[in-house]
Structures are given as C-alpha cells and as structure tokens.
C-alpha cells in the first residue's frame, strides 16, 4: 500500500464506512495512505521497529520483482520495481521526518541502530529454505551492497535501495542496456517523488 500504484481494490473500497473485505483468501481493510503513513511514522520512532518495517518492505519488493514473468514488457515490467522504489522512498521520507526533531547525536544513533537492525532482522527472520530463492537472493544482494560501503555512509546509501534492487534484478534478467537505463530512471523518479511527498 505504501507504493500506491496497483492498489485499485483498496481505492475502490476507500469510503469511510466501507467494511473489511476478502480477496484471494485474505481479509483486508482500507486505510487511507495519509493515515497509514502517520501510523508508520509513529511506529518508526523506535529504530528496531523501523528496521522491521524496512525489511518487510524489502522482502515484499524482492518477491514482486522475482514474480515478474520472463516475457513481461511495458507496464507489467516497469510497475513492480517502480512500486517497490516508491514504497521505499516513503520509508526514506518517514526516516527523515522521525529524525528531524532530534539533535545530531540522537539522530545518528537512530540511523546506526536502524542499519544494525536491518542486518539483525534479516538474519533472525529470514525464512529457512525459502520457496522463492530469487527473492531471497535479491534481499541478500542488497544487504551486501549496503555493508560494502563505509559504516558512516550506510544509512544514506539506503536512499538508493529501490534503484539498487532494480539494477540487480535487471542484470539478473539480462535486460538490454537501453531498457535497463530507462527503467532505472523511472525507478529513481518514483522513489524521489515519494520521498518528497512525505517530506512536505
């Protein structure tokens, strides 16, 4: 829902008096994007909780990318990475909103705890014998990218997560250079737009 591109069912049932509904064996309840973001922001005050949310979105993005058929083109090819980047951009904006009122030391401690929490959350909660190895590989590749940069730059590097994951995915699909560059530009715009919306 944070990505907000393919949630037409939620939008169609967004009336304030709309009851919970069922689809694909799962029950849903509509929550407006602004309300959802406010809840996520409140939860994110705790860096460990933010790390859990971030890892959950990381896995969701990876599963959606892994599920794209080999024959996909156009909209069906561009929406999964763009939607994932948008959701991650929302989380980037929420992180800035959370740390905005802190002094420099508090903000740095929060950011450091988030990065450590991501690694811990991945280690502790990664499904054993994942039925979706491609998605698991995408998550692991992104964490390796994060850990390869100097520690003081890791939190800032999270801002490019949507692009990093889309690039790894595109390279794994052996996407031609022109298609890949166009897609990555779209992904970057999506993440930045979402980040700015939350920052406003």
Residues facing 21 on adjacent strands: 28
The predicted pLDDT at position 199 comes to 65
The predicted pLDDT at position 122 comes to 72
CA 96 to chain centre: 15
Rounded Cα distance between 113 and 130, Å, is 27
The predicted pLDDT at position 26 comes to 76
The predicted pLDDT at position 15 comes to 62
Whole-model pTM: value is: 0.86
The predicted pLDDT at position 125 comes to 62
- Block means of pLDDT (10 residues each) for the chain, length 200 residues? 56 65 73 79 94 94 95 93 94 94 94 92 66 91 93 94 97 95 96 84
The predicted pLDDT at position 190 comes to 94
The predicted pLDDT at position 197 comes to 86
């Amino acid at each position: 829902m944070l990505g907000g591109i393919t949630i037409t069912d939620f939008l169609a049932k967004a009336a304030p008096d709309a009851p919970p509904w069922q689809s694909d064996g799962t029950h849903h309840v509509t929550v407006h994007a602004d309300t959802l973001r406010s809840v996520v922001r409140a939860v994110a005050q705790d860096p460990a909780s933010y790390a859990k949310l971030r890892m959950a979105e990381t896995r969701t993005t990876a599963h959606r990318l892994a599920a794209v058929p080999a024959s996909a083109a156009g909209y069906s090819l561009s929406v999964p990475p763009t939607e994932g980047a948008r959701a991650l951009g929302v989380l980037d904006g929420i992180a800035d909103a959370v740390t905005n009122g802190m002094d420099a030391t508090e903000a740095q401690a929060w950011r450091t705890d988030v990065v450590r929490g991501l690694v811990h959350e991945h280690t502790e909660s990664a499904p054993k014998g994942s039925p979706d190895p491609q998605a698991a590989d995408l998550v692991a590749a992104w964490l390796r990218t994060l850990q390869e940069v100097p520690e003081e730059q890791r939190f800032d590097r999270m801002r490019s997560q949507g692009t990093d994951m889309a690039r790894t995915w595109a390279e794994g699909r052996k996407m031609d250079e022109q298609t890949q560059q166009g897609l990555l530009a779209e992904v970057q715009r999506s993440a930045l737009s979402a980040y700015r919306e939350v920052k406003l």
